[in-house]
Structures are given as structure tokens and as C-alpha cells.
């Protein structure tokens, strides 16, 4: 009879400082201009790239795009509780994210990856939109076992607002800081951070390398997303990333709608994108 395999040792230390955080933007995994439409082609390809890259330990966080944002906006979920009529909107926003999460889980699991969903609305509480508490013990245990926790931007409970929207970017940055992640890879629907919104300004140039100081200066030129986005587009994204970059976690923003960009970023290979590092 086969001996029972030993469970991996419990050692929180190893999971810190070597974990990679991959954020898959809603702009890439859904069709942002078309309400409630996942981009299954991109989801399937990204799952293949994640499988091929074989990065361990890995945490995936994804956004909502056209699945999450329009419903959250309709019910004013980000602004907090004002009337009981919003409650079904809170449910619908969370449910839309669960459905998108299921597609991602399905694509990963079909490729043999041990992806396990972690529900932010049941493990995080915010205060005025900022993460106040987060239960990370199960997440750390999943990492130790060799699983891939998959989290997402979600409708969450808020101590002062009643409820609000927690962006996948805030979640990714917060996890990176708290687990002292080795790096953050962010996938969006543009090649990286530009001098202006590339969808509105044809003269916008891709900035391949950004220091924290330069990023702070550029912030005035970075716009919000054109599609309904309750978490602030690229401006919201880079603002959320600043705390992680401040503690010297290298961050790269790449185009997840183009083949192999996320794969190359995960492997640490040279790739088109914006690398953001600490310093002035
Ligand atoms: P996601 O939903 O994938 O997290 P967002 O839609 O929130 O991404 O942000 C990406 C969008 O931000 C891009 O599609 C782009 O149109 C917009 N954007 C605004 N300003 C900039 C900029 N300076 N550089 C890059 N993208 C920008």
C-alpha cells in the first residue's frame, strides 16, 4: 500500500518574500465596452501562460471589468449604504464577480493547476474603502500546500460605509506589502503606463521604466478608464501600487490582451511594459 504522503511543513517564513502576485485586469479579462461580457479567449490563453510559466508560490488577483463595474455603479455600491434597495445590488455585484471568478478557476483547474478561490467579501473588512482587516491564515496555508489562491475585486463590508467596493489593485498591493512579495505583475489592456491615456491621445508614449518619483509626477497626466470603472482606471491603479513600490517590491505593468506578455513578465524575461521601481 502506498504510504500517505507527508503534508508540506508549516513554515510561514518561506511563503514571504518569494511570492509573486499576478493581477489580471478587468480590462483584459472582460470586454470592457460590452456589459457583462467575459473575454473567454483571453482568460483561456492567460491560464495557459500561467501553467507554462510554472511560478511558485503564486497569488492571482483579478478585476471585474464589464462584469463587476456596471452593476456596482448602478447601485452606488462604492459610495456605501444609503437605502435597503441597494442590498440586492451588493448581492448582484458580488455574484457577478463570483461568476467571473468561476471562469478563471475553471480555466486554471482544467490545466491541472491547484487554483482555489478566496472570497474577499468574507475575509476582508474595509474602513472608508481602505483595507482594515484581512484573514490571511487560510491563504498562507494554501500557499504552503502548493495551491494558487485566486482573489478578486469585490463588494465588501465597510465599518463606516456599510459596504463598498474593494478594488483588485488595492487587494494586490496590500497582499504584496503584507506578504513582502518578491514582485507584482499587472496585466491590463494597454502596453503599460503611457504619458497620457493611449486610448484618447494618439501622441501618448509608453514609459518603459518609471521610478516612484517619476510616477508621482506623471500621476497628474494619468487618466481614468473610459469604460464604466468605479475604481479609477490607470490612475487608481498606480495610486494603489505606490505603497508596494515604496517598500521596494518591483512591479511591472504589461498588456495581458497580447500573447506571451504575462508569460514573459512571470518568467522575468525582457518584455514590452512599464517597470516601476523605488527611488526618485
Ligand atoms: P483594469 O480594469 O485592467 O484594472 P483599468 O481599465 O482600470 O484597468 O485601467 C487601464 C486603462 O487606463 C487603460 O485601458 C487606459 O485606457 C486607461 N489609462 C488612462 N491613462 C492612462 C495612462 N497614462 N497610461 C495607460 N493607460 C491609461
Check pocket membership of 219 for ligand 1, CB cut-off 6 A.
no
User: In this predicted structure, what is the pLDDT of residue 196?
Assistant: 86
* CB contact at 8 A, 164 and 126: yes
User: In this predicted structure, what is the pLDDT of residue 169?
Assistant: 96
User: In this predicted structure, what is the pLDDT of residue 15?
Assistant: 45
Tell me what the mean pLDDT of segment 252-272 comes to.
98
Q: What is the pLDDT of residues 51-108, one digit of tens each?
A: 999 999 999 999 999 999 999 999 999 999 999 999 999 999 999 999 999 999 999 9
Res 18 pLDDT > 60:
yes
Q: Indicate which residue's Cα is closest to atom 1 of ligand 1.
A: 25
* CB contact at 8 A, 265 and 252: yes
Closest CA to 66 of 96, 107, 42: 96
Q: What is the pLDDT of residues 167-193, one digit of tens each?
A: 999 999 999 999 999 999 999 999 999
Res 43 pLDDT > 80:
yes
For 24, the grid coordinates are 489580471
User: In this predicted structure, what is the pLDDT of residue 230?
Assistant: 61
Beta bridge partners of 119: none
Centre of ligand 1 from the C-alpha of residue 9, in Å: 41
Check pocket membership of 255 for ligand 1, CB cut-off 6 A.
no
Centre of ligand 1 from the C-alpha of residue 30, in Å: 14
* Higher-pLDDT residue of 223, 160: 160
Centre of ligand 1 from the C-alpha of residue 250, in Å: 19
Q: What is the pLDDT of residues 129-168, one digit of tens each?
A: 999 999 999 999 999 999 999 999 999 999 999 999 999 9
Res 2 pLDDT > 80:
no
Report the distance separating Cα 114 and Cα 34, nearest Å: 31
The pLDDT mean for the chain works out to: 91
User: In this predicted structure, what is the pLDDT of residue 11?
Assistant: 47
Report the distance separating Cα 104 and Cα 102, nearest Å: 5
Centre of ligand 1 from the C-alpha of residue 226, in Å: 8
The SS3 call for residue 79 is: coil
Give start and end residues of each alpha helix (H) in the chain: 12-15, 26-29, 40-53, 65-74, 87-110, 120-123, 137-145, 168-178, 212-218, 233-246, 261-267
User: In this predicted structure, what is the pLDDT of residue 252?
Assistant: 97
* Higher-pLDDT residue of 180, 228: 180
- Share of residues in the chain with pLDDT > 90 (%): 79
User: In this predicted structure, what is the pLDDT of residue 228?
Assistant: 55
- Share of residues in the chain with pLDDT > 70 (%): 90
pLDDT band at 280 (very low <50, low <70, confident <90, very high): confident
Amino acid at each position: 500500500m502506498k504510504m500517505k504522503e507527508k503534508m508540506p511543513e508549516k513554515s510561514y517564513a518561506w511563503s514571504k518574500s518569494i511570492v509573486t502576485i499576478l493581477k489580471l485586469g478587468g480590462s483584459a479579462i472582460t470586454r470592457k465596452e460590452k456589459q457583462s461580457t467575459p473575454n473567454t479567449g483571453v482568460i483561456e490563453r492567460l491560464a495557459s501562460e500561467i501553467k507554462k510559466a510554472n511560478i511558485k508560490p503564486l497569488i492571482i488577483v483579478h478585476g471585474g471589468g464589464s462584469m463587476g463595474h456596471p452593476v456596482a455603479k448602478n447601485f452606488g455600491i462604492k459610495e456605501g449604504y444609503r437605502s435597503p434597495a441597494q442590498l440586492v445590488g451588493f448581492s448582484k455585484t458580488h455574484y457577478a464577480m463570483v461568476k467571473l471568478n468561476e471562469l478563471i478557476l475553471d480555466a486554471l483547474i482544467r490545466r491541472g493547476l491547484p487554483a482555489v478561490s478566496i472570497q474577499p467579501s468574507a475575509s476582508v473588512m474595509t474602513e472608508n474603502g481602505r483595507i482594515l482587516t484581512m484573514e490571511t491564515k487560510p491563504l498562507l496555508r494554501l500557499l504552503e500546500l502548493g495551491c494558487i489562491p485566486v482573489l478578486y475585486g469585490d463588494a465588501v463590508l465597510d465599518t463606516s460605509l456599510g459596504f463598498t467596493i474593494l478594488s483588485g489593485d488595492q487587494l494586490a498591493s496590500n497582499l504584496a506589502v503584507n506578504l513582502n512579495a518578491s514582485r507584482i505583475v499587472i496585466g491590463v489592456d494597454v502596453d503599460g503606463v503611457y504619458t497620457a491615456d493611449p486610448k484618447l491621445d494618439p501622441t501618448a508614449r509608453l514609459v518603459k521604466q518609471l521610478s516612484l518619483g517619476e510616477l508621482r509626477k506623471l500621476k497628474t497626466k494619468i487618466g481614468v478608464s473610459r469604460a464604466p470603472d468605479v475604481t479609477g482606471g490607470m490612475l487608481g491603479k498606480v495610486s494603489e501600487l505606490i505603497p508596494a513600490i515604496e517598500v521596494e517590491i518591483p512591479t511591472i505593468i504589461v498588456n495581458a490582451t497580447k500573447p506571451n506578455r504575462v508569460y514573459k513578465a512571470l518568467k522575468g524575461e525582457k518584455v514590452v511594459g512599464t517597470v516601476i521601481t523605488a527611488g526618485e
